[in-house]
Amino acid sequence: MIPTTAKATGNYLNSILAVREAASRGYDEAILIDMYGNLAEGAVENIFLIKNGQVLTNDQNSSILLGITRASAIQIAKDLGYPVEIRNLKLDELFDADEAFLTGTAIEITPIREVDGRAIGDGARGPITEAVQNTFFEIVAGRRPEYQHWLHPVRIEAGVRKAA
């Protein structure tokens, strides 16, 4: 087995197959479970659940790649005053969640409205997801000075990008 913490091209084969299967069934994304039937992650994203005001996400033993955007969402949630619990997540917890979202480099922070035709919460982006998402967008736009150390400015001179 290839360690899930290795960001290796071969690890994405399972994700590609999962997305293809999801698309063939009319869904936008796949959510994967681990060998024990627990939630793992999206095809190439980490998953977060919100229940009773608490933010929940998987730990490193949950067959996940520990993403940078995941770490950012955890820190943002804590900074906003939401309790964060990192542990194995059960599939029923997804269906019983008040809110859910995915994180990843390409999708940033994206709410989950429904899974298998079942609404998550009230079927819309929830207030905690919105707060974490909006804060993330403000940070990447450079509008949150307290997070400036997360950013690495890139200058554009004569059409050439140069790292600052």
What values do phi and psi take at 8, rounded to 5? -110, 145
Q: What order of strands is seen across the sheet that includes strand 84-86?
A: 84-86, 54-57, 46-51, 99-104, 108-111
Tokens 């933010």 -> residue: 55
Long-range pairs for 11-17: beta carbons < 8 A, 24 or more residues apart = 11/65, 12/44, 15/43, 15/44, 16/43
Catalytic residue among 7, 51, 78, 162: 7
7 given a catalytic annotation: yes
For residue 152, what are the contacts with CB-CB under 8 A and spacing of at least 6? Answer: 163, 164
Are 106 and 68 in contact by the 8 Å Cβ rule? The answer is no
* Helices vs. strands in the chain: H and E counts, helices first: 4, 12
The catalytic site residues sit at 7
